A and B are shown apart, each in its own frame.
Chain A
């Protein structure tokens, strides 16, 4: 059953490894340009987060989905930290520290989803990926603080606490089973066979 996928993929998007280097509206330095997009990949990830945590299977339709998954997993890490914070300023500090922490990137032994992500090809790509992921992390942390903390009371709002509880359903972030699907020659061949059967199926 389909979970929610990213709709931001366009053919001319730059790829780093096999993740899409999508533009992000951010003040932080990095490879992604923040060129006036209304809703970027981080907005999408936050919008779909609550629904996506319930799904046990996720089908990767395009490279932007991989970026979406990375941001989703990072959001769950942030929320675990934010649960313990009692004020917005403390939350922002935690998010900043978390953002610049050296998380493993695809290809390194600590990265949980190495099977689905490609290793960067050369040193330059490696640098770009690291910088891009750090940029994503920092911007995500900042935006989450907006969502989680109630502006009047400066405390985590009850609704966002409910959201944090749903982390239980992630059942271990590494338990996210991801299926990789591609438009290969095999898929095209299946379509041809289906057509001959299809002629009889028409009502």
Chain B
């Protein structure tokens, strides 16, 4: 199918989207588990159920929210005793980045924020930087070249001015060579990769580099999201910030986020202590960003993890129920996964 499923933020009904996302689920699990974006309507779920049961004839179905699955996937990086379905999920793919707070397995829908910076913007920014400087890239391949450079050489730095100084003092160590092949003439071309290595992903933290309308850094957005959530859930949210999606795979992304958020939280606590004249002494905020090696496919991995538990069979909707009652059984999917 020509349209890429990842371009659609919300799943639209249609059979084309399932071929890529559910076929491997069907094969691995026997019983498919489908995913949905957080603010999906119950009618959409009914359509989904209809298509799955009628067209694909699945024996059972469970529709899970992507953010909850990403949280489940993060359990691979911690001990069994600490499993929790409360946390904020930063899902960054190719099209858009979401910050989704989840409390006890239920998404706090009114506090979700979208950030218009994602993988595609980074690629475009790198393409612009390269276009002015390197003459060797064939024009029709410039976007793919930028993408390859982004995936291979980019990382997140703690401070851009210091990185500039590092690159200037020792160019041989930091500036890399990239070799590509011209698709038409099959001759190789070489380019230097310099400042783009850290400037590309930096647009997460300084969006104004590439987007004139959006100025807020991703750490500020996350902070805002947590502050807009109910007060009793804020500390657990700070403690469990989970990354998912391909664009969070940059080296040190988690560390930089953690550092920025810790600074903001500490500054706020210090301000409250100051303004109260020393009477209020708040407990220091524990900020933790969780990264793990399945981050790129975190949603899928979480789904397959949860679907392989015995509890799954109790919560998924069976074909028998569908035949008897109809698609409305799939409107509500109960949360499961925290085993005692």
Binding site for B on A (CB under 8 A): 1, 4, 47-48, 50-51, 54-57, 158-159, 162, 165, 168, 191, 194-195, 198-199, 201-203
Contacts and interface: CB of A to CB of B under 8 A. Distances in A.
A201 B272 contact: yes
B215 interface: yes
A165 B130 CA distance: 10
A172 B215 CA distance: 20
A202 B133 contact: no
A51 B209 CA distance: 10
Nearest to B175: A159
Contacts of A158: 192
8 contacts: A1-B208, A50-B161, A54-B208, A56-B212, A57-B215, A198-B275, A202-B272, A202-B282
Given A1-B217, A51-B160, A159-B168, A203 B283 contact: yes
Contacts of A168: 132
Given A50-B161, A51-B164, A203 B209 contact: no
A54 B215 CA distance: 13
A191 B195 contact: no
Contacts of B161: 4, 47-48, 50-51
Interface of B: 132-133, 160-161, 164-165, 167-168, 171, 192, 194-195, 199, 205-209, 212, 215-217, 231, 234-235, 268-269, 271-272, 275-276, 280, 282-283, 285
A149 to B, nearest CB: 14
A203 B208 contact: no
Contacts of A191: 275
B132 A199 contact: no
A50 B161 CA distance: 7
Given A54-B199, A56-B212, A1 B206 contact: yes
B239 to A, nearest CB: 12
Dominant secondary structure of chain A at its interface with chain B: helix
A151 to B, nearest CB: 14
A54 B164 CA distance: 13
Given A50-B164, A159-B194, A203-B234, 19 more contacts: A1-B206, A1-B207, A1-B208, A1-B215, A4-B161, A47-B165, A48-B161, A55-B209, A57-B208, A57-B215, A159-B167, A159-B171, A162-B133, A162-B194, A201-B268, A202-B269, A202-B272, A202-B276, A203-B285
A115 B189 CA distance: 48
A159 B169 CA distance: 10
Contact of B231 (A47, A55, A198, A203): A203
Nearest to A54: B209
Most buried by A among B132, B171, B231, B234: B132
Contacts of A194: 275
A90 B132 CA distance: 25
Nearest to B227: A201
A57 B276 CA distance: 33
Contacts of B215: 1, 57
A191 B276 CA distance: 12
A55 B217 CA distance: 13
Contacts of B195: 50, 162
Contacts of B234: 203
Contacts of A202: 269, 272, 276, 280, 282
Given A56-B212, A162-B194, A202-B282, A1 B164 contact: no
Nearest to A199: B276
A166 to B, nearest CB: 8
Contacts of A4: 161
B208 A199 contact: no
